[in-house]
Chain A
Amino acid sequence: MLATVDSCVLAGLEARRVEVQADSGNGETRFFLVGMAATSVKEARERVRSAIKNSGLDFPRKRLTVNLAPAEIRKEGSGLDLPIAIAIALAEVGKRAPARSAFLGELALDGAVRHVDGVLVAARCLKRVGFDRVFVPAADASEAALIDGLEVIPCEHLAGVFAHLLGEAQITPLPFTEIAPDPTTGALEHDLAEVHGQEEARRAIEVAAAGGHHLLLSGPPGSGKTMLARCLPGILPPLELAEAFEVAQVRSLLGDLVPGRPLDWTRPFRTPHHGVSMAGLIGGGSGFAMPGEISRANHGVLFLDELAEFQAPVLQALRQPLETGRVTITRSGGAVTYPARFTLVAATNPCPCGWLGDPVRTCRCTQAVVDGYQRRLSGPLLDRIDLQVGVRRVPLVELAAEPRGEASHVVRERVLAARARQQARQECLNAQLKPSRLRHLAAMEPGAKRTLERWSEQKGLTARGFHRAWRVARTAADLEGSELIADHHVLEALGYRLHDVAA
């Protein structure tokens, strides 16, 4: 008898439909699995055989062929265990699978259905191609229940699923979870109220949050760079529904979702170590690439501490995602695209020993070493960081005497207002404005324009540097609630730069 069951395999944030066909007939007792199955899928033969036997079902003692169609897609992962087992069991009893239903899940030898990664992504794609019902591991059912219009059958055990299909015992479907953004933000882990002094860096963080600009903090060890960076998520608005959904999908692929609470409204904050590999930061792996840190930081903050210690090729690879908010990675299985729209916050020491420019301690680095260190940071990557500020170390004894600044929730109000202005005007943040749109949307007073041109002439500003200052000036004006960019906005924007090098 022949039975066909639908399932899917994941290719990045897309799922491709796979038809599992099981056919048993006369001949030697053997089990063939064909249709470009990777090793992880070939192993399904052994799991499925034991799971069927241990679920009190009959495993056909005939010549059994399971085909995974279409044959030209390479199939990976353990999610096909459940559909293979269901196809075999249905073929044995001569029944058909319900229409427009798909199955996904890994099997344990005792027949239990176990968690697989990416159920949210799979459910979204299956719904889009016309499926009405998904059978998914009970552990992942809450992910699938986020998709409206899809009946979600949580599967605990192979025997239970089969009984459900035969109409012997019903499994209650998990209802669609209505998603409502949660405006209540709990107590912040890092609040700007705890930052003493550092007024310039505080202001830079506010501008970065308001306009979505990337930020570089440079200063000696212990000057509070990490603390400042960690305050950034707290002054950003909570994720919007579409954003939270995108964040959840990347997490689903990586198996990172919190069980029972698939949607999270706080912005991601990722801090990869400077030893991170290209695959770790950008994304990679065999077959289809998996998302890297930049995609985990999507709609949130990517904090790179000790920027100069990162491998140069890894940093260079950040350029495309910084520009487009997306990353496309090609591996043997094909090309996949992941979202990577994050705010980059980078921190660096001014020199290898860290004390260059410190008022108290003397730097022991030779000029050549300092030049080499700063050269590693310069160039195309630095060119894309709109805000660059120096952070000074405040001696511990004086720290308490430094004035405390505003709390995060106060700053956040201003950030939200500035962001609302931008959305109303251009439907994106200022940092994402291309030069052609800047000309239309970011008008400067004549004096402001002259200042920018004068500076650009004097300091040899590149075209990119020119537009960078323009965008930051736009954000400074938005924070002030001003539609026209004034002279002092441009001057402030030009102040956010570290060296006198042409930038």
Chain B
Amino acid sequence: MTLPLDLNTLNARGRWPPPDGPRVAIVGSRRPSPYGEAVAEQLAADLARAGVVVVSGLALGCDAAAHRGALVGGGVTVAVMGTGVDIVYPAAHFRLAEEIVAAGGALVSQFPDGTSPRRRNFPARNVTLAALSDVVVVVEAVQGSGALITAEAALDLHKEVMAVPGSIFSPLSVGTHALIRDGAGLVQNARDVLAALGVGREVLDDPLGAPGRLGFRLPAERDGILIHLSDVLAVSTAELARKLHLPVAEVLSRLTSLELDGAVRRHGAGYVRALRSGKD
């Protein structure tokens, strides 16, 4: 596959080209599960600490989490946009875009200034995203998602594609599991990515502990409710009440108490376990 354009002709805001160093694209669903969002953020933070430039697409969900993670990790991140670099899409990411530039990163685009969001431009943007990166990591993707277009482009460009596994019950992991089956590298933590880049393990000084391989701290067990909660799929209060043989009013008040402590989160019409990074 040939690139439709010369990478040197990209429009940019901020520091472009970025400082030398490996570049890793972290992409995924615009509407990830709490798990996917946490993975994207944590992975990006760890990679940024190791001096990796995190590349993503400034979209909602995984993309934004990756950019945010890179900023938390004190690294440089590049947003490859499907609009002109003067138009932030979605508009809700205006501040994120400013922070990316302020932290020494860049907003880049193959489209001229003033290009508003158009459906047909985003697949082309995905190809550029792949071209700019050494490794593409897909966090969560339903079948046919834009993140898979990026992965395919990366393969055509002979770049390494890696994917994060998830629950076999989650539609959001169908795409990533398919990638793994087809030979994509398995990502359990930042070290897996660094190994693919050929960067030594010693870069990451902070050893990652079990059981959250990415360094998540699981909330302390209480009431026996947390065992029944997942960090991917929401479980409804009614289901929990049935499993625990408790009145629904009592389960609801216990869940709210856990929510108050930050151990669980609302998601859709139910609850998920809240993942907290062990590093903050």
* CB-nearest residue of chain B to A497: B266
Task: Encode contact with A along B234-262: 1 for CB under 8 Å, 0 otherwise.
Answer: 10111001100001111011111100100
A476 to B270 Cα, complex, angstroms: 21
Q: Does B60 have its Cβ within 8 Å of any Cβ on chain A?
A: yes
Assess whether B268 is in contact with A356, with CB atoms less than 8 Å apart. yes
Give the A-B contact count at a CB cut-off of 8 A.
86
Of the listed residues A359, A391, A498, the one surrounded by the most CB atoms of chain B closer than 10 A to its CB is A359
Point out the residue from B90, B266, B268 that lies within 8 Å of A368, measured CB to CB.
Answer: B90
Assess whether B238 is in contact with A200, with CB atoms less than 8 Å apart. yes
Point out the residue from B248, B253, B266, B269 that lies within 8 Å of A392, measured CB to CB.
Answer: B269
A74 to B106 Cα, complex, angstroms: 73
Q: A200-B236, A362-B142, A392-B269 are in contact. Are A489 and B242 (CB under 8 A)?
A: no
Assess whether A495 is in contact with B252, with CB atoms less than 8 Å apart. yes
A189 to B142 Cα, complex, angstroms: 43
Q: A362-B171, A367-B31, A368-B90 are in contact. Are A203 and B252 (CB under 8 A)?
A: yes
* CB-nearest residue of chain A to B89: A368
* CB-nearest residue of chain A to B169: A359
A358 to B267 Cα, complex, angstroms: 11
A406 to B72 Cα, complex, angstroms: 51
Chain A residues closer than 8 Å to B236, beta-carbon distance:
200, 390, 392
A200 to B242 Cα, complex, angstroms: 11
Point out the residue from A197, A357, A362, A495 that lies within 8 Å of B256, measured CB to CB.
Answer: A495
Q: A350-B269, A367-B90, A495-B237 are in contact. Are A403 and B242 (CB under 8 A)?
A: yes
* Distance (whole angstroms) from the CB of A377 to the closest CB of chain B: 15
Interface size class of A (residues with CB under 8 A): 35 or more
Q: Does A491 have its Cβ within 8 Å of any Cβ on chain B?
A: yes
Chain A residues closer than 8 Å to B88, beta-carbon distance:
none
A367 to B260 Cα, complex, angstroms: 27
Of the listed residues B31, B238, B267, B270, the one surrounded by the most CB atoms of chain A closer than 10 A to its CB is B238
Q: A357-B269, A476-B249, A495-B253 are in contact. Are A197 and B238 (CB under 8 A)?
A: yes
A500 to B266 Cα, complex, angstroms: 7
Task: Encode contact with B along A108-122: 1 for CB under 8 Å, 0 otherwise.
Answer: 000000000000000
Chain B residues closer than 8 Å to A490, beta-carbon distance:
253
Q: Does B13 have its Cβ within 8 Å of any Cβ on chain A?
A: no
A199 to B252 Cα, complex, angstroms: 11
Q: Does B233 have its Cβ within 8 Å of any Cβ on chain A?
A: yes
Q: Does A128 have its Cβ within 8 Å of any Cβ on chain B?
A: no
Q: A362-B142, A367-B60 are in contact. Are A390 and B269 (CB under 8 A)?
A: yes
Question: Which chain A residues (342-363) contact chain B, with CB distance < 8 Å?
Answer: 350, 356-359, 362-363
A350 to B60 Cα, complex, angstroms: 19
A358 to B90 Cα, complex, angstroms: 25
Of the listed residues B247, B249, B255, B265, the one surrounded by the most CB atoms of chain A closer than 10 A to its CB is B249
* Distance (whole angstroms) from the CB of A474 to the closest CB of chain B: 14
Q: Does A185 have its Cβ within 8 Å of any Cβ on chain B?
A: no
A489 to B250 Cα, complex, angstroms: 9
* CB-nearest residue of chain B to A492: B253
A454 to B262 Cα, complex, angstroms: 12
Q: Does B30 have its Cβ within 8 Å of any Cβ on chain A?
A: yes
Assess whether B269 is in contact with A488, with CB atoms less than 8 Å apart. no
Q: A390-B269, A392-B270 are in contact. Are A455 and B260 (CB under 8 A)?
A: yes
Chain B residues closer than 8 Å to A367, beta-carbon distance:
30-31, 60, 90
Of the listed residues A363, A392, A495, A499, the one surrounded by the most CB atoms of chain B closer than 10 A to its CB is A495
Of the listed residues B60, B248, B266, the one surrounded by the most CB atoms of chain A closer than 10 A to its CB is B248
Q: Does A494 have its Cβ within 8 Å of any Cβ on chain B?
A: yes
A488 to B254 Cα, complex, angstroms: 8
Assess whether B257 is in contact with A199, with CB atoms less than 8 Å apart. no
Point out the residue from A199, A391, A454 that lies within 8 Å of B242, measured CB to CB.
Answer: A199
Assess whether B254 is in contact with A357, with CB atoms less than 8 Å apart. no
Chain B residues closer than 8 Å to A200, beta-carbon distance:
236-238, 241, 248, 252
Point out the residue from B233, B252, B265 that lies within 8 Å of A492, measured CB to CB.
Answer: B252
Assess whether B266 is in contact with A499, with CB atoms less than 8 Å apart. yes
Chain A residues closer than 8 Å to B142, beta-carbon distance:
362
Assess whether A203 is in contact with B249, with CB atoms less than 8 Å apart. yes
Q: Does A458 have its Cβ within 8 Å of any Cβ on chain B?
A: yes
Chain A residues closer than 8 Å to B247, beta-carbon distance:
203
Chain B residues closer than 8 Å to A476, beta-carbon distance:
249
Q: Does A67 have its Cβ within 8 Å of any Cβ on chain B?
A: no
Question: Which chain A residues (451-503) contact chain B, with CB distance < 8 Å?
Answer: 451, 454-455, 458, 476, 487-492, 494-496, 498-500
Q: Could you write out 22 A-B pairs with CB less than 8 Å apart? A: A200-B237, A200-B248, A203-B248, A203-B252, A357-B267, A362-B142, A392-B236, A451-B257, A455-B256, A476-B249, A488-B249, A490-B253, A491-B252, A491-B254, A491-B256, A495-B252, A495-B253, A496-B252, A498-B266, A499-B266, A500-B265, A500-B266
Given contacts A359-B234, A362-B142, 7 further A-B contacts (CB under 8 A): A199-B248, A200-B238, A203-B252, A367-B31, A390-B270, A455-B260, A494-B256
Q: Which 3 A-B pairs have the closest CB atoms?
A: A357-B268, A390-B269, A491-B253
